[in-house]
């Protein structure tokens, strides 16, 4: 059997908190409580819930603000949130703000309805994995046994040696990796690397390719990674995706 879903209640009114807690626990959920944002963050250090029930009105930091922060923080952005409001007319305001909450519920609500919403949100959260949410920038590329790490701006060779790249070399390699197994002429490379036109007798691409080949230990006489397409330009061959 799997672990029960974990719910965190953030609500300043002790009685409401206890009421909700007891009902949820009867329904096989693991529940913890915080009275305000401060306590919540403290608790989150050691315990990660699947869903947070957040009251809108809180002493100290506002529930909306907490909500925003939770969805910005890498460690907490995959926690589902249901906002609770005291009055229905507050709802309009919240909905307009588009904070990161997954559902909203205005008091008074029936316990059954709360439970239903919780199950619904959790189910939705599980079938729509986070990956779909923020379109992350790609941090590393793999090709022919090499690994390119963008942040550290270096390559890791198939045998594990780390090779540093300059900015220009990295951009060039990135461009090749975005067009694998495709011959790119010098004008195109200049455009993609520097967003500028190539001048008349512009050899900078050739030189830069040479420098990159040296880093990749690619013999120009018989290159395996960056091939020269004679009379046209250069091409990165990855082996995969022919």
Binding site for a second copy (CB under 8 A): 45-47, 134-135, 137, 151-153, 156, 160, 166-167, 181-183, 229-232, 235, 242
- Region of residue 60 (left: phi > 0; alpha: psi -120 to 50; beta: else): left
How far is residue 84's CA from residue 7's CA, in Å, rounded to a whole number?
Answer: 14
Beta-carbon count within 10 A of 28 CB: 8
Please list every residue from 87 through 126 that binds DNA, using CB under 7 A.
none
Instruction: Determine which helix (DSSP H) or strand (DSSP E) holds 121, and give its type and residue range.
Output: helix 111-127
Residue 46 vs 108, nearer CB to a second copy:
46
Residue from the set 150, 202, 215, 238 that interacts with DNA by CB under 7 A: 202
Residue 56 vs 226, nearer CB to a second copy:
226
How far is residue 98's CA from residue 55's CA, in Å, rounded to a whole number?
Answer: 16
Burial (CB < 10 A; 0-12, 13-18, 19+), residue 6, is middle
- What's the closest the beta carbon of residue 151 comes to DNA, in angstroms? 14
Residue 57 vs 171, nearer CB to a second copy:
171
Judged by beta carbon distances under 5 to 8 A according to partner kind, the member of a second copy, DNA, none in contact with residue 47 is a second copy
Residue 45 vs 196, nearer CB to a second copy:
45
How far is residue 10's CA from residue 59's CA, in Å, rounded to a whole number?
Answer: 11
Largest CA-CA distance found in the chain, in angstroms, rounded: 79
Residue span binding DNA (CB under 7 A) among the ranges 27-35, 94-102, 114-122, 229-237: 229-237
Judged by beta carbon distances under 5 to 8 A according to partner kind, the member of DNA, a second copy, none in contact with residue 88 is none
Cβ proximity of 47 and 5 under 8 Å = no
Helix (H) and strand (E) counts for the chain?
A: 8, 12
Residue from the set 166, 217, 224, 240 that interacts with DNA by CB under 7 A: 166
The residues that touch DNA, with contacts defined as CB under 7 A, are 164, 166-169, 186, 194, 199, 201-204, 206-211, 213, 220-221, 228-233
């Amino acid at each position: 059997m799997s672990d029960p879903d974990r719910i965190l209640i953030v609500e300043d009114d002790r009685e409401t908190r206890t009421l909700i807690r007891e009902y949820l626990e009867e329904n096989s959920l693991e529940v913890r409580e915080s009275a305000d944002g401060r306590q919540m963050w403290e608790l989150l250090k050691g315990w990660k819930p699947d869903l947070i029930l957040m009251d809108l009105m809180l002493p100290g930091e506002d529930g909306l603000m907490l909500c925003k922060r939770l969805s910005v923080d890498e460690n907490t952005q995959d926690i589902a949130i249901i906002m609770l409001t005291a009055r229905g007319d507050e709802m309009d305001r919240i909905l307009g703000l588009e904070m990161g909450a997954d559902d909203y519920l205005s008091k008074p609500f029936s316990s059954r309805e709360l439970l239903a919403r919780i199950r619904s949100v959790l189910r939705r959260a599980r079938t729509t994995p986070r990956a779909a949410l923020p379109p992350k920038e790609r941090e590393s590329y793999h090709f022919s046994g090499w690994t390119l790490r963008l942040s550290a701006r270096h390559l890791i060779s198939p045998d594990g040696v780390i090779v540093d790249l300059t900015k220009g070399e990295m951009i060039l390699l990135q461009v090749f990796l975005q067009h694998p197994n495709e011959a790119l002429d010098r004008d195109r490379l200049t455009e993609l690397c520097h967003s500028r036109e190539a001048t008349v007798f512009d050899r900078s691409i050739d030189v830069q390719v040479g420098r990159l080949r040296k880093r990749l230990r690619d013999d120009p006489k018989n290159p395996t990674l960056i091939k020269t397409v004679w009379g046209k330009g250069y091409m990165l061959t990855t082996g995969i995706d022919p």
